[in-house]
Amino acid sequence: MSRSAVLVSVEHVGKRFDTLRVLDDVSLDLREGEIVALLGRSGSGKSTLLRTIAGLTAPTTGRVRYRGTELTGANPGTAMVFQTFALMPWLTVQDNVELGLAARGVPPARRRERALAAIGLIGLGGFESAYPRELSGGMRQRVGFARALVLEPDVLLMDEPFSALDVLTAEHLRGELMALWQQEDFPTRAVCIVTHDIEEAVLLADRVVVLGANPGHVRAEVAVGLARPRDRRAPEFAALADRLRGLLTGPFAEIVERA
């Protein structure tokens, strides 16, 4: 994939909720062909920033652009995978996956075709008529992925999508996501994932944006530069994880947070 095209631009974004300042002067670009991790501790505004990119939360100051056009509502080029699955319990797997397509006015026959293809893509073929209560946590998160991917978004946004899963299920889903990402016909052109897990950021991302807290601000951007698949035991992996850990928890970080 080309890495030259900027899909989403966040320009000097600030966000307040009443008197609480959550984000302060945040600027970053999401470019075609890359996975970006937003890494930070509690209070760094990671999820608020992601929702601002999605157009679900309007910035108090600054602006967000999608392909050069300033957002005034939901971002038409994004779809989101949530931490808590966010499925409609009264709908089947297929109906949950079709929700976004129905909202966009896609005809029923085409909705069904695309939903079944997405369900098959994420490994849930045969469960189209199941309800969320009948699925494991990992399967429910697969439905969340399918519901986002069926929209064929330019940018896939993920808000700590593996944190509610057990370790083995999370590791398996990360691997499947990476396999999809490396397929030539995968329609999504960029991924932005919120995480507080340093190793997850190094494992998945091409670039890590480290956020400071109270209010959230960009402290550093770190290029990963490791070939895939990545080995957690490799010295280069460990060195990069240590560098990110230092940015988050070192003495300088503490001084910045208190300032």
pLDDT at 113 over 70: yes
Q: How far apart are CA 22 and CA 250, in angstroms?
A: 22
Sign of the dihedral defined by the CA atoms of residues 189, 128, 159, 162, in that order: negative
User: Are the folds of 1-77+195-259 and 84-152+165-188 the same?
Assistant: yes
Q: Is 84-152+165-188 assigned to CATH 3.40.50.300?
A: yes
pLDDT at residue 250 in the model: 64
pLDDT at 257 over 70: no
DSSP per-residue codes, 11-22: EEEEEEETTEEE
Mean pLDDT across the chain: 91
Q: Where are the domains of the chain?
A: 1-77+195-259, 84-152+165-188
pLDDT at 187 over 80: yes
Structure token pair of residue 236: 């280069």
pLDDT at residue 256 in the model: 47
DSSP 8-state code for residue 216: B
Most confident of 24-33, 163-172, 175-184: 24-33
pLDDT at residue 255 in the model: 44
Q: Is 1-77+195-259 assigned to CATH 2.60.40.10?
A: no
The pLDDT tens digits of the residues spanning 119-136 come to 998 889 999 999 999 999
Q: How far apart are CA 81 and CA 237, in angstroms?
A: 26
Q: Would strands 61-66 and 207-212 be described as parallel, antiparallel, or unpaired?
A: unpaired
Q: Would you place residue 82 in the very low, low, confident or very high pLDDT band (cuts 50, 70, 90)? A: confident
- Note if the pTM is more than 0.85: yes
| CB-count burial class (<10 Å; 0-12, 13-18, 19+) for 191 | buried
